[in-house]
Amino acid sequence: MCGIVGLFLKHPRLEPQLGALTAHMLGTMGSRGPDSAGFAVYGAGVVGETKLTLRGPGGTDFIGLVTRLRETIGQASVTLHDTHAVLRLPRDSADAAADWLAENAPQIAIVGRGERMEMFKEVGLPEKVAARFGLADMRGTHAIGHTRMATESAVTINGAHPYSTGPDQCLVHNGSLSNHNAVRRNLRREGFAFATENDTEVAAGYLTWRMREGLPLGEALKASLADLDGFYTFVVGAENGFGVLRDGIACKPAVMAETADYVAFGSEYRALAGLPGAETARVWEPEPATVYFWER
Amino acid sequence: MPDIDLRVTPLRELNKMLHSIGPGSNERHWLVANPGGLHAIAAGVNAPVTIEIDGHVGYYCAGMNTQATVIVRGSAGVGVAENMMSGVVHVLGDASQAAGATGHGGLLRIDGNASSRCGISMKGIDIVVGGAVGHMSAFMAQAGNLVVFGDAGEALGDSIYEARLFVRGAVKSLGADCIEKPMRDVHKQALHDVLSRAGIEGQIDPGEFKRYGSARRLYHFNVDHAGAY
């Protein structure tokens, strides 16, 4: 099982509703993945600024933490979202902030990084996870989300999706990979560290590695058709849009809806049925082994 | 004429009502509004009634259908009319994977395209698709007719037993043990009969279709054929 949703807005008109629409889609897919949920939202970004999405244990004093961080790196602001917080700071000081956090607050994980992307994930019913983070109030151009029914590894936050694959990039996955142990071994030799035994973390690492070797995202996805064995529907979020790839057998479901206002992805049509104009949208299934991308 | 709005009436209530239609019931025409992609709408109906669903349906719509005529004014999710025994299921839009899977009888008509594995393991059902079918359609098909007005994807009829496949467009590739066969008059007549049952005979010349079926080399395991399995 597992469920995936994605929503890409073509015009600014619906941007204030992005979070509310995505939250509804995510909640609907809760029946496909009641273990945990996560999502990435691409909101407004400031050129020259980086957002670090941080996750800490319950009750983390992010305000106090950032006050201390400022003493070292200077300018930084923070927005709180339950167990997560979004830290905004000048791009040049992002690495220094990450180093400072690793040294002074090892309990804090950096789950996402980018100019626009904010990423949240938690264990629990998707509807409740979305409510805890205040997804319905978030705005932006596009978002992807995932509801998890664990098959390959334990139900933990680290096992939840999305997985970051680079700045402003993340991956969600429905399916399971059968050669993830072998791919993980190869990637470890390339210097990658893995936090879990999860197969999707390996797929994310694989894409990151391919892009580090110089392939653009679309080409990295194509390469995965040859190197990743198993069954999967991938949805990747990038700064300007999102992409979809299904394996060559395509037994994992995927349905798309497109109107003049948006392109939406759902594991099932149910996830799309609540979108404005869904009844008259063009509805179709992505072809197997074909990389799709929507950008603006 | 019962008129059910699935935003108001729970799906289980609808299916319960449909399952309890007795012989001689006067409620022979049901309208269902706002299906919203819900699963198993009108599955397991066994009564000679007509059910019109206005919108897109989720998985297994009209599954196990017996006697009923189910019309979907939209697209259908995975496994529409799976294991149908008799009656008619007519999808005006597209159908997802495994449409008509394991169907024993009756007619499944899809006006748009059907996705992969259409008619997988079909056992006597007639499936008529107005558009194209996806990869691995009629996989292990055993009996019945699959008629495709458009193209067929990869590995059509893989490991097929005795079903008849008629395709008017291009076939991307044939699966193991599936071959093209001559379209003789008797087969044109058989195709005409299927189109008659679908109510669209005379619109298209059966001679435009090619016929595919089993080469019958995989019926019994033969070590010499191991590479083909």
- Residue numbers in A near B116 (CB within 8 A): 250, 288
Using an 8 Å Cβ cutoff, are B173 and B192 in contact? no
The DSSP letter of residue A151 is S
B225: pLDDT confidence band, cut at 50, 70 and 90?
low
- pLDDT of res. A122: 96
Closest partner residue to B37 (CB to CB) among A250, A251, A270 is A270
Range of the domain at A52: 45-115
Instruction: Find the length of chain B.
Output: 229
A268 touches chain B (CB under 8 A): yes
* Confidence category of residue B17, pLDDT binned at 50, 70, 90: very high
- Taking the CA atoms of B164, B170, B176 and B177 in sequence, report the sign of the dihedral they define: positive
* Whether B137 contacts chain A with CB within 8 A: no
pLDDT tens digit string along A7-27? 999 999 999 999 999 999 999
Give the pLDDT score at A295: 83
Q: Are residues A80 and A159 in the same domain?
A: no
Structural domain span for residue B138: 3-228
For residue A103, give the 3-state DSSP assignment: helix
Q: Is B12 exposed, middle or buried (0-12, 13-18, 19+ CB in 10 A)?
A: exposed
Is residue A2 among the annotated active site residues?
A: yes
| Beta carbons of B75 and A283 less than 8 Å apart | yes
pLDDT digits (tens, 9 = 90+) for A121-161: 999 999 999 999 999 999 999 999 999 998 878 898 888 89
Percent of chain B's residues with pLDDT above 70: 98
Which tens digit of pLDDT belongs to each residue from A207-250? Answer: 999 988 999 888 999 999 999 999 999 999 998 889 999 998 88
Among A79, A99, A115, which residue terminates a domain? A115
> Which residue of A255, A265, A272 to mutate against B (max B Cβ within 10 Å)?
A255
Distance between B202 CA and the closest CA of chain A, angstroms: 30
Q: Which residue has the higher pLDDT, A238 or B5?
A: B5
Last residue of a domain, one of A95, A115, A135: A115
Comparing A193-197, B102-106, B156-160, the range with the smallest average pLDDT is A193-197
In a mutational test of the B interface, the residue from A25, A252, A270 whose CB has the highest number of chain B CBs within 10 Å is A270
Q: Is B158 on the interface with A (CB under 8 A)?
A: no
CATH number, domain containing residue A10:
3.60.20.10
Q: Does the pLDDT value for residue B220 go beyond 80? A: no
Tell me the CATH number at A91.
Answer: 3.30.70.260
Give yes or no for residue A56 having a pLDDT over 70. yes
Q: Is the pLDDT of residue B229 over 80?
A: no
The two three-digit tokens of residue A256, written as one number: 């798309």
| pLDDT at residue B24 in the model | 87
- Would an 8 Å CB–CB cutoff place B37 in contact with chain A? yes
Output the pTM of the full model: 0.90
Query: A130 and A210 in one domain?
Result: yes
Q: Return d(Cα A18, Cα A20) in angstroms, integer.
A: 6
- For B37, which of A268, A284, A288 is closest by C-beta distance? A268
Number of domains in chain B: 1
A251 shares contact with chain B (CB less than 8 Å): yes
Q: How confident is the model at residue B68, as a pLDDT?
A: 98
Confidence at A84, pLDDT banded by 50, 70, 90: very high
Task: State how many domains chain A has.
Answer: 2
Of the three residues A69, A85, A115, the one that is the final residue of a domain is A115
Confidence band, pLDDT 50/70/90 cuts, at residue B2: very high
- From B78, which residue of chain A is nearest by alpha-carbon distance? A253
CB A210 within 8 Å of CB A225: no
pLDDT at B126: 98
Q: pLDDT tens for residues A153-175?
A: 889 888 889 998 889 999 999 99
**A39 pLDDT above the threshold of 90:** yes
Q: In what order do the strands lie in the sheet with A77-81?
A: A77-81, A84-90, A49-55, A109-114
Catalytic residue among A2, A130, A143, A220: A2
Residues of chain A with Cβ-Cβ distance to B172 below 8 Å are none
- The answer to whether A137 contacts chain B (CB < 8 Å) is no
- A12 with A96, same domain: the answer is no
Å between A272 CA and nearest CA of chain B: 9
Residue with tokens 């299904």: A246
The answer to whether B131 contacts chain A (CB < 8 Å) is no
Kindly report the average pLDDT of chain A as a whole number.
93
Say yes or no for a CB contact (<8 Å) between B37 and A285: no
Instruction: Tell me the average pLDDT across A113-118.
Output: 95
CATH of residue B93's domain is 2.160.20.60
Determine the distance in angstroms separating the CA of B49 from the nearest CA of chain A, rounded to an integer.
26
Residue A173 belongs to what H/E stretch?
A: strand A169-177
A141 and A10 co-located in one domain: yes
The verdict on A230 and A168 lying in the same domain is yes
pLDDT at residue A102 in the model: 94
pLDDT in the model for residue A57: 93
- Dihedral sign, Cα of residue A266, residue A272, residue A275, residue A280: positive
Q: Is the pLDDT of residue A1 over 90?
A: no
A252 and A111, same structural domain?
Answer: no
Residues A97 and A206 placed together within one structural domain of the fold: no
A148 plus A247 within the same structural domain: yes
Burial grade of B163 (CB within 10 A; 0-12, 13-18, 19 or more):
buried
pLDDT of residue B95: 97
